[in-house]
Amino acid sequence: MTAADARARIQERFGVDAVADGGLGVTLPRDRWQEFARFAHDELGCRYFNWLSAVDWQDQGLEVLCRLENLDAPLVVAMRTRLPAGQTRCPSLTSLYRGANWMERECYDMFGIVFEGHPDLRRILLSDDWEGYPLRKDYAVDTPLAPYR
């Protein structure tokens, strides 16, 4: 599977033009997030889960990014989806990739994105009683620590 083949198949199946920049960048609507990951896993052979994270675009909502790879081809698929402003729900990829478990927990911890279908969505780096989501742009660097309870 070459990058050009993969690009054509993505175009055919999802009607999205993948941007080639060291890999295939694919922007998806939120409701096709899981469907695309399944397609990448089963049909493009992207079995390697590299990382998942998010960017806070403030009034333009949160963007979730995920990087999947086919190590044999080699082929890199960088998928992204934008959550509408004020919304924090995103489908989970844990049923496809085990690596998504910790990465989504970190994303929940830092951005407050709720991954629907995640089996164990709790904070991972911060303590359970932490208030707020530090990587959101509205979280000030000098936010005082909540008193010890």
Partner 1 sequence: MAATQTQQVVEIGYGGNERLMMNMGPQHPSSHGVFRMILTLEGETVVGVDAVIGYLHRCHEKLGESLTYVQYPSIASKTDYVAAMTAELAYVSAVEKIAKVEVPRRAQYLRVIVAELQRIASHCLWLGTWCLDMGGALGGGATVFLYCIREREMVLDRFEELTGARLLYGFHQTGGTRYDVPPGWDKKVRETVDFIERRLDEYESMLEGNTFFRVRTQGVGVISREVAETVGVSGPLIRGSGVGYDVRRAEPYSSYGDFDFVVPVETAGDCYARYRVRMVEFRQSIRIIRQALDGLPEGPISSRPGVKSVAQVRVPKGEGYTRIEGARGEIGCYIVSDGGPKPYRLKWRGASFSNLAVLPYIVPGHKVADVVAIMGSVDPVFGEVDR
- Which residues form the interface with partner 1 (CB under 8 A)? 22, 47-51, 53, 55-56, 65, 67, 71, 74, 78, 97-99, 101-102, 106, 110, 122-128, 134-135, 139, 141
Q: In the complex with partner 1, which residue's Cβ is closer, 16 or 103? A: 103
Non-local CB neighbours of 64 within 8 Å, separated by 6+ positions = 33, 52, 53, 54, 80, 81, 83, 90, 107, 113
List % helix, strand, coil for the chain (3-state, nearest 5).
25, 25, 45
Give me the least distance between CB of 107 and partner 1, in Å please.
10
Give me the least distance between CB of 12 and partner 1, in Å please.
26
CB atoms inside a 10 Å sphere around CB 8: 12
Give me the least distance between CB of 97 and partner 1, in Å please.
5
Give me the least distance between CB of 53 and partner 1, in Å please.
5
Give me the least distance between CB of 127 and partner 1, in Å please.
5
Q: In the complex with partner 1, which residue's Cβ is closer, 8 or 71? A: 71
Alpha-carbon distance values, 75 to 5, 15, 18 (Å) = 11, 19, 13
Q: In the complex with partner 1, which residue's Cβ is closer, 112 or 134? A: 134
In this structure, are residues 101 and 107 in contact, taking their beta carbons and an 8 Å threshold?
A: no
Q: In the complex with partner 1, which residue's Cβ is closer, 86 or 141? A: 141
Q: In the complex with partner 1, which residue's Cβ is closer, 8 or 85? A: 85
Alpha-carbon distance values, 105 to 100, 121, 125 (Å) = 8, 6, 9
